Structure 1
Amino acid sequence: MQKSILITGCSSGIGLDAAHTLRDRGWQVFAACRKQVDCDRLSDEGFIAPRLDYETPETIEAALKDVLKHTGGTLTGIFNNGAYAIPGLVEDLPTDALRQIFETNFFGYHTLTRAVIPVMRAQGHGRIVQCSSILGFSPLPWRGAYNATKFALEGLTDTLRLEMRGTQIFPVLIEPGPITTKIRENAIPHFEKWINWENSARVDDYKALKQRLYTSSGPDPFELPPTAVTKKLIHALEAPRPRARYYVTFPTYLMGTLKRLLSTSGIDFVASRF
């Protein structure tokens, strides 16, 4: 039986690379996107590309229904991948902004995950792979909204892994550091919508943030291409016993090690340098 996977956030970056690579490896790939125009583009490339917007539960239900229609009711794995950021200080982050980002980065993941568990239980196996982040276990300043969603995702996925113990359904976390994607550019409209930086008590600090946000200075130190994430995804999907979590990029390995070695104040010192 051909292995099948539903991947979200396939318009570019990590999702797009994963879709192409897994298809080349013989997987039946369903490459979901939030915007119909991106779905149409992927359809032209030969993918079945359902529209799936994490903020709209109806599209999650419809996309999964479409996938199961093509597979005869089975699905080997999902890769929850789509997410965005709202740069800004926690004190300047409106609560409504936090609610909205959680709809995409957390609640949407949960909705799709819950929907596929009965399918995987019925077939006796499955892989639920969540694209988390280094910021899911080691926060950095100015990224409070994104940090919060990824910390929540890690807690939920760790709990699900415990609850699925003894089954052949494996929840897995992938934790990338800096990856070449459009997350910085995609964050700009959310920053402009929600952060009233000109009236912040730290307006001068925001001027420096805006310089980094609006002006590309090339790849970040230790940045890797999306293929680095796809490599770990392949192991998570195809290994007989996948790991609970997969680090990607040197900063993730470094912070994982420092979390074990340093005190909280030591970690805070390191994180405040970024």
Structure 2
Amino acid sequence: MSQKSILITGCSTGIGYDAAHGLRAAGWRVFATCRQQKDVDRLRAEGFESHLLDHQDTTSMEAAVAGVLAATGGTLDALFNNGAYGLVGPLEDVPTDGLRDLFESNFFGYHTLTRLVLPAMRAQGHGRILNCSSVLGFMAMRWRGPYVASKFALEGLSDVLRLEMSDAGIDVVLIEPGPIRTEFRRNAIAKFEQWVDWKASPRRAQYESELLDQLYKRQGKPDPFELGPEAVTKAVLKALTARRPRARYRITTPTHIMAIAKRLLPTRVQDWAIRKI
């Protein structure tokens, strides 16, 4: 039986980095990709077949896929779209260009990369597309509007793609983590500083009394429900090896609680509860 292959994005740290190591340990041939060359070089030093790939750069995606297919002889068993970032702040303070920039990475890049690998999967008659969503892909939360919007969109795209690819032997799966211990929150600060002019906001007093503390002072403080990235890797392995994978794999207690609340509670009650968080 030949070794199965997977292309993973966003492997410099966190979920992607752990998944690359976990899948390699499980016997997969892992193509671990990153946005920056220094991270590609580091992964190559760790023994990975690594390529430069940025979800916001079509040329880099085309080159990475071409390199992977050249290495495998034209086959690819799985794709894990994982790379993404968050932009926090009230939606009225987020310029449309900031929202568009985030969607290029979190949504359009996933679609572009998926389309690039589908011809190989169609030709071989099988494949699995795993898209990393979030608990915020089905439950809204204040001050995280851009990320929520991108993940809601990704959920819809994945659901439709799952239906459309069912006749081609290609499974499409959503991975839905809750709070995971990564650099994600710290990385969101740079995007906040790039796009949000909070001093000019009608909510300036709210920033000063609450929002800036949430963004800056709570960085690194443990969340009681937070899990390590290995929890996501475990779900990814299940999604890849199950004979008939589930449409969604939910990770962390908050994700399961929110899924139940979404199904059972009226919207107004959900809104009241979310505002208390």
Q: TM-score, normalised by structure 2?
A: 0.97
Q: Tell me which residue corresponds to 1:79.
A: 80
* CA distance in 2 between partners of 1:258 and 1:116 (Å): 36
Q: Tell me which residue corresponds to 1:70.
A: 71
Q: Tell me which residue corresponds to 2:276.
A: 273
User: What does residue range 161-176 of structure 1 map to in structure 2 within 5 Å?
Assistant: 161-176=162-177
For structure 2, which runs of at least 5 residues remain unmatched after alignment? none
Structure 1 residue 166: Cα displacement: 3.1
User: What does residue range 1-274 of structure 1 map to in structure 2 within 5 Å?
Assistant: 1-207=2-208, 208-215=210-217, 216=219, 218-274=221-277
Q: Which amino acid aligns with 1:235?
A: K
Instruction: From the superposition, tell whether residues 127 and 253 of structure 1 become closer, same or farther in structure 2 (CA, over 3 Å).
Output: same
* CA distance in 1 between partners of 2:230 and 2:190 (Å): 27
* CA distance in 2 between partners of 1:242 and 1:168 (Å): 12
Q: What are the superposed Cα offsets for residues 66-116 of structure 1, whole Å, 9 maximum, x if unpaired?
A: 001111100000000000011100000100001100000000000001111
Structure 1 residue 48: Cα displacement: 0.9
How many aligned positions are there? 274
Structure 1 residue 29: Cα displacement: 0.2
Q: Which amino acid aligns with 1:135?
A: L
Structure 1 residue 213: Cα displacement: 1.5
* CA distance in 2 between partners of 1:273 and 1:92 (Å): 22
SS in 1 for 2:52: coil
Structure 1 residue 271: Cα displacement: 1.3
Percent identity at matched positions? 59
Q: Which amino acid aligns with 2:224?
A: P
For structure 1, which runs of at least 5 residues remain unmatched after alignment? none
Q: What are the superposed Cα offsets for residues 228-271 of structure 1, whole Å, 9 maximum, x if unpaired?
A: 10111001111110000010000000010011110010111111
SS in 1 for 2:50: coil
Query: RMSD across aligned C-alpha pairs, in angstroms?
Result: 0.8
Q: Which amino acid aligns with 1:103?
A: E
Per mean C-alpha deviation after superposition, the further-off stretch among 198-207 and 176-185 is 198-207
* CA distance in 1 between partners of 2:45 and 2:117 (Å): 27
